């Protein structure tokens, strides 16, 4: 059981904590959040409308928008992490299939756009069923240990991010 807890901390706990902390700080930096815990944060995120600043990168805006859309809670964070992981793996696999830039240009067309759209919808389904995805990917022994570690990691990181002063 001790080994399973260590694996859960390394493979899931630390990444979830870092991602949760970063997203809360990112959102809190652009929006006044009055929440003190994850439950209040989830309710507050439903009512937020974001203003985009010109100096902000496109990636940061999209990430914050997705964080708010997924709800900011434990389930939403894991769904967002899963979605980003699946998309990243698919983009890497997609780019590996081309031997040259000419191959890539030749493949661009309606069929490619349709495939991207269908895969994005399928990836969203995978994201919302994230426990099934991560069971296949990670060396999970006890699912309850992993869920407990990730939940506590998310809870502590969110609490820490909400209680720290904005700099």
Q: How far is CA 94 from the centre of its chain?
A: 21
- 67 Ramachandran zone, left/alpha/beta (phi>0; psi -120 to 50): alpha
CA distance 51 to 30: 8
Place of tokens 């990181």: 157
Rounded to an integer, what distance in angstroms lies between the CA atom of residue 61 and that of residue 83? Answer: 17
Tens of pLDDT, residue by residue, the chain (167 residues):
888 899 899 999 999 999 888 888 877 766 666 666 666 666 666 666 656 566 667 777 777 777 777 767 888 889 889 999 999 999 888 888 877 777 777 777 888 888 888 998 999 999 999 999 999 988 888 889 999 999 999 999 988 887 876 55
Neighbours of 160 (CB within 10 A): 14
In angstroms, rounded to a whole number, what is the distance separating the alpha carbons of residues 4 and 7? 5
Distance CA 32, CA 24 (A): 11
50 DSSP 8-state letter: -
Distance CA(63)–CA(60), nearest Å, equals 5
């Amino acid at each position: 059981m001790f080994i399973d807890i260590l694996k859960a901390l390394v493979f899931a706990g630390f990444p979830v904590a870092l991602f949760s902390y970063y997203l809360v700080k990112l959102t809190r930096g652009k929006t006044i959040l009055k929440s003190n815990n994850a439950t209040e944060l989830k309710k507050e995120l439903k009512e937020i409308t974001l203003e985009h600043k010109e100096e902000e990168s496109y990636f940061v805006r999209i990430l914050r928008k997705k964080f708010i859309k997924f709800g900011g809670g434990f389930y939403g964070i894991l769904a967002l992490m899963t979605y980003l992981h699946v998309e990243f793996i698919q983009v890497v696999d997609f780019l590996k299939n081309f031997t040259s830039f000419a191959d890539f240009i030749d493949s661009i067309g309606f069929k490619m756009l349709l495939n991207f759209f269908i895969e994005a919808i399928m990836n969203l389904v995978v994201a919302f069923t994230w426990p099934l995805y991560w069971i296949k990917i990670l060396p999970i022994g006890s699912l309850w240990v992993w869920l407990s570690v990730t939940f506590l990691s998310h809870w502590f990181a969110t609490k820490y991010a909400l209680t720290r002063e904005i700099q």
